[in-house]
Amino acid sequence: MIVFGLMSCTFLGYLAASGFYVAALYDRRRELWARGAVYFGWTAQTVYLFRPIVILGVISTMSLYDWMAWFVWVVTGTFLVIQHRRQYAQVGSFLIPIVFLLWVGSQGLNHPAGTQRPSILVGWLGLYIAVATASYVVFLLAAIFGIMYMEKERELKKKQIRLFYYQLPPLEDMDLIASRLIMVGVPLFAVALYFGAQTVKLVWGSYWAWTAKETWSFITWLVYLVYLGLRWILGWRGHRSAIYAMLAFIVVMFNFIGVNLLFPGPRGY
């Protein structure tokens, strides 16, 4: 009953926050309601995730269901910090609805019957999970700024500009922020690949076994490395850079979700 209540509060909080943040693009007075709702949902999810740790002393991050739950929690928590320090509340209008959809989508996955021992959080696998998750958060934020850039640019090209055009940061700022996020994400994900290779060495006896997860993780890293090359060497900026950041995150999502669904088991995860 407690678990169901916490999940319901998480659902309602993120749902309400999604609606209020979108409304805040047209009426800033809705921003306060949006903040309250997202804090409510995130707090409920925090209690849901940490309750078994406190009561049972165990934690599970090995299944896709668990990983997505933690990913949503980290993304939302990161946004709360960004919103507080940088006053980028407009990011929530694009990010929180995606977070809500990810959380709802994760509920359709099979919930593991039991929990894993805390030992999964130590060693190379724990480091890989933590760093890879942080990388995905950075790449998602870069994609969000790409979406915001495209929306503001589209409004600029129209004869009648809607109110939310003035709520978004300048185009140059969003382009720069997206590129800097990817500049952080590329080396961060390279570190995750290293930790993953160390994990594979322990399991399969070699640093690279060409598992589905390894291969697609490497492809994901190359996709973002190409982004940096296009930006630094060919001078990609603005429109093309924003589109690339958006499309690149599709690769991240396939690596994050698709690989684990299509290739279940140790060779997929």
Q: What is the mean pLDDT of residues 183-199?
A: 91
Q: What is the mean pLDDT of residues 64-91?
A: 83
Domain boundaries, the chain: 2-262
**pLDDT by residue (tens digit) across 231-256?**
988 888 888 999 999 999 999 988 88
Q: What is the mean pLDDT of residues 72-87?
A: 84
* CA–CA dist 30, 19 (Å, integer): 9
Q: What is the mean pLDDT of residues 165-188?
A: 91
CB 97 within 8 A of CB 22: yes
pLDDT of residue 267: 47
Rg (alpha carbons) of the chain, rounded to whole number: 19
pLDDT of residue 76: 94
Q: How far is CA 191 from CA 134, 185, 194, 221, 267, in A?
A: 11, 10, 5, 11, 20
pLDDT of residue 259: 79
pLDDT of residue 116: 45
CB 208 within 8 A of CB 199: no
pLDDT score of 172 more than 80: yes
Q: Which residue has the higher pLDDT, 147 or 82?
A: 147
Q: Which of 9-13, 126-130, 195-199, 258-262 has the lowest mean pLDDT?
A: 258-262
pLDDT of residue 115: 43
DSSP state of 207: S
pLDDT of residue 149: 93
Q: Taking the CA atoms of 58, 104, 72 and 78 in sequence, report the sign of the dihedral they define.
A: negative
Which candidate, 189, 183, 207, places its Cα nearest to that of 197? 207
Q: What is the mean pLDDT of residues 8-33?
A: 90
pLDDT score of 81 more than 60: yes
* CA–CA dist 51, 56 (Å, integer): 8
Q: What is the mean pLDDT of residues 147-164?
A: 84
Interaxial angle between packed helices 212-232 and 238-253, expressed in degrees from 0 to 180 and rounded to the nearest 10: 170
pLDDT of residue 148: 92
Q: What is the mean pLDDT of residues 62-83?
A: 86
* CA–CA dist 208, 188 (Å, integer): 19
pLDDT of residue 208: 74
pLDDT score of 177 more than 50: yes
**pLDDT by residue (tens digit) across 31-71?**
889 999 999 999 999 998 888 777 766 666 557 777 888 89
What band does 191 get if pLDDT is binned at 50, 70 and 90? Answer: very high
**pLDDT by residue (tens digit) across 89-148?**
789 899 999 999 988 888 776 555 444 444 444 577 778 888 999 999 999 999 999 999
